Structure 1
Amino acid sequence: MTLKVLVVGAGVVGAACAFHASLAGLDVTVIDRGPVGAGTTSRGEGNILLSDKEPGPELELAHLSRALWDEAGEELGADSLEFESKGGLVVASTDEGLPALRAFAERQAAAGVLVEPVDRVHDLEPHLAPGIPGGVHYPQDAQVQPVLAAAALLRAAVARGARFHTGEVAAAVTDPDGRVTGIRTTAGDVLPADAVVNAAGTWGGEVGRRLGAPIEVLPRRGFVLVTEPLPPMVRHKVYSADYVANVASSDAGLETSCVVEGTRGGTILIGASRERVGFDTTMNPAVVTKLAAQACRLFPFLSEVQVIRAYRGFRPYCPDHLPVIGPDPRVPGVVHACGHEGAGIGLAPATGALVTAHLLGRPWHGADPAAHAGLLPDRFFTSGGGSE
């Protein structure tokens, strides 16, 4: 009998889970209360990064995901994803910061990341501010248009027989042994399933609670600025070295670090900010001003460029900065795939493959559950982390 899988969430992670599960021949239904990619996915920059990850479980997943994005581009068409293998350039703003950046790159290189130390950064980015002492080029960094990517992955899953259901999960339906047999929606519908995948992004904690398997996934608000369309001015994803430290920080207060990259449409995206303010969507002009000032210091030409809009969203943040991927031991049949923070777009294909491997009970498309045990949800329970 074909395994029935219900994926909660139609963002890029949920779409990738549906894509791989349908490719494996499973019976897939995706449920979301809104359109495809309408949540955190629509608020991201589309980053596919190795450059910002310390050696460890997340980098290992990112390696696999980078290869799977190439496969997806070949199958779905790179244009349908706006896939660009543009590479990344991380720069040190001071002479004192350069040795630390290079040491970080050396650790990544030892873990298999392609790194190229750069002394003449203006050869790669002619419009950078003068006086930047050096940086590191990461040829594997890439970018997609997040909503297009989610839609393309889900469309491919539907072509293989997957279904999309608009609705909101209210609770799990279980048998007398506590195993999931489906979900009940807030509208009262019951959707049968042998397994339920929690790919609800920032709302993964609440969905987990409704399924009887709560996990600690918190929102971390971020702003992105969008400029008017310009001729090509920024060739790579360019960011300052302190971005890595901000990603790894657990501080609740506002943190900003300069990230600048161009898009196929000619606009330039400017980030990145992080702050833990719950689900507060208030526009904060001070954050926008700070991001713009940092970008202008990195690329002085931006001081003459118009910002046409600023958007904000919430990154799904776990206390240990790692995603939660795998079966929940408390409720058989529940599989988590959330908590990716700002890396969900980049990690989506590998997450989908790893979830499918867990569902199949064997490796799938390079994803071996035994090799990614550090991402399992029980790490919180066995360490006393407390999601009970």
Structure 2
Amino acid sequence: MTSRPEIGVEIAVIGGGLVGAAVAYGLIKKGLNIVLLDEGDSAIRASRGNFGLVCAAGKGDKLENYAPWALQGVHVWAEFAKNLIAETGIDLELEQNGGFVFCAEPPALKERIEMMERLRRKSGLDFEVMQPAEIARLMPGVSSNVAGAIFCEIDGAANPLKLLRALHAAISATEGALRRDARAERIERTSGGYRIITPAGVVTSEKVVLAAGLGNLGLAKWLGVRLPIKPMRGQILVTERYEPVLKAPSEHVRQTMDGTFLLGGSWEDVGYDTSTTFEVTRDIAARAVRYFPFLEKVRLVRTWSALRILAPDNAPIYDEIAPGAFLVTCHSGVSLAAIHAGKVAGWIADGALPDEAAPFALSRFESSLPEREVAYG
């Protein structure tokens, strides 16, 4: 039997999606010897179905400490994008022209305003409440039959696929830093850190970062830890190209730089089923047409679905779940990419999580977690 090649690094990051790639990119910027282990295109890529919003609006409803963290993440995005574009030449299609959350009926608008007021007290996030006539300045063609919308000037959107491509390109500039088709099959503790078994070979590291989205469920078990995350399906519809009309994105409808409209907003608790369904497609399209009646005559060209990674409070989890083993998981891989490459990578490089990370610790779910397992290996 041929032995697998073995490499040694300071930090191994498991998961080549948006979260893991952002952390790995940040660690390289700090001068660390790292490897990013990417399962490849067979992995459940949340970035494939990501709507691409770069937003703080509404984040923190179930965990208020998430609100100021999300706002920080949006604030640092422009500088992050500038640097990544300069390094790779890949346009991330970042637009920060503000963002909308539409409310079809007055009770929904009232409830959203109350939530935003609560989050503003926590984070300082500014917002406006707009009526259809005001919305039309940025969103021509909006229906007059919606109750209104929340508008946050700091919000925006980027292209998640180009973001992932750019992160991989930047990481690949460091020889050997990106290993593709390297699914982590097993994690073992060693006296000097960790040993990770992959089809591409064995990696030894002083520290390990679990940033593999839903794959973290299995990876954490090798360290004796159970995680309270689960998949949540979202379906997206894409239209034909159309003349540029929408100057800002919204939660359910946005126009991309190439002119297509993305329609979405479904939250479906269906396990790992990534199929699309007629009923949800119909409802997404109907809601979009209710907000923008002109879309009724725009042709749909394709649909797909992807799986979000959700904790019970919809907020990130950052924790050191074993000595030198860091968990980074969230469902806002685009919005938080800049802060993951900055602050979170800095925490991991330093080898300790500061008080700022405490609200996002795994321990906040202790009452709902199964008993801790004995680690394998």
**Who is 2:111 aligned against?**
100
1:280 is displaced (CA, Å) by 1.3
**Who is 1:184 aligned against?**
197
**Who is 1:88 aligned against?**
99
Identity of aligned residues (%): 27
Q: How many residues align?
A: 356
Q: Is the 8 A contact 2:254 2:263 kept in 1?
A: yes
Structure 1 residues 149 and 215: alpha-carbon distance in aligned structure 2, compared to 1, 3 A threshold: same
Aligned counterparts of 1:319 and 1:359: Cα–Cα separation in 2:
24
Out of 281, 303, 318, the position equivalent to 1:310 is 303
> Partner of 1:26: helix, strand, or coil?
coil
Give a deviation string over 1:26-59, Cα, whole Å, max 9, x none: 1110011114997111211111111121362222
Q: Does 1:225 align with 2:258?
A: no
Structure 1 residues 135 and 387: alpha-carbon distance in aligned structure 2, compared to 1, 3 A threshold: farther
Give a deviation string over 1:154-194, Cα, whole Å, max 9, x none: 32233355611121111112125xx7322112x38310111
Aligned counterparts of 1:160 and 1:121: Cα–Cα separation in 2:
46
Structure 1 residues 212 and 60: alpha-carbon distance in aligned structure 2, compared to 1, 3 A threshold: same
> Partner of 1:70: helix, strand, or coil?
helix
Q: Does 1:372 align with 2:367?
A: no
Structure 1 residues 315 and 102: alpha-carbon distance in aligned structure 2, compared to 1, 3 A threshold: same
Aligned counterparts of 2:297 and 2:116: Cα–Cα separation in 1:
33
Letter in 1 for 2:56: L
* TM-score after normalising by structure 1: 0.84
Letter in 2 for 1:171: R
Structure 1 residues 209 and 217: alpha-carbon distance in aligned structure 2, compared to 1, 3 A threshold: same
Q: Does 1:5 align with 2:11?
A: yes
User: Once structures 1 and 2 are overlaid, which stretch shifts more, 77-86 or 319-328?
Assistant: 77-86
Matching of residues 215-254 of structure 1 within 5 Å: 215-239=227-251
**Who is 1:49 aligned against?**
55
1:71 is displaced (CA, Å) by 1.4
Q: CA RMSD in A?
A: 2.4
Structure 2: which 5+ residue stretches go unaligned?
A: 1-7, 373-377
Q: Is the 8 A contact 1:221 1:313 kept in 2?
A: yes
Out of 309, 319, 322, the position equivalent to 2:312 is 319
**Who is 1:72 aligned against?**
80
Q: Is the 8 A contact 1:357 1:369 kept in 2?
A: no
* TM-score after normalising by structure 2: 0.87
**Who is 2:67 aligned against?**
59
**Who is 1:355 aligned against?**
344
Matching of residues 166-177 of structure 1 within 5 Å: 166=180, 167-175=182-190
Aligned counterparts of 2:111 and 2:274: Cα–Cα separation in 1:
35
Letter in 2 for 1:60: P
1:300 is displaced (CA, Å) by 0.6
Out of 276, 297, 301, the position equivalent to 2:294 is 301
Q: Is the 8 A contact 1:171 1:183 kept in 2?
A: yes
> Partner of 2:23: helix, strand, or coil?
helix
Q: Is the 8 A contact 1:335 1:355 kept in 2?
A: no
Aligned counterparts of 1:86 and 1:373: Cα–Cα separation in 2:
32
**Who is 1:245 aligned against?**
none
Letter in 2 for 1:118: M
> Partner of 1:314: helix, strand, or coil?
strand
User: Once structures 1 and 2 are overlaid, which stretch shifts more, 92-101 or 22-31?
Assistant: 92-101
Matching of residues 143-292 of structure 1 within 5 Å: 143-160=157-174, 163-166=177-180, 167-175=182-190, 180-185=193-198, 187=199, 189-239=201-251, 259-292=252-285
**Who is 1:246 aligned against?**
none
Structure 1: which 5+ residue stretches go unaligned?
A: 240-258
Structure 1 residues 217 and 54: alpha-carbon distance in aligned structure 2, compared to 1, 3 A threshold: closer
**Who is 2:334 aligned against?**
345
Aligned counterparts of 2:46 and 2:361: Cα–Cα separation in 1:
22
Letter in 1 for 2:348: L
Aligned counterparts of 2:106 and 2:344: Cα–Cα separation in 1:
44
**Who is 1:255 aligned against?**
none
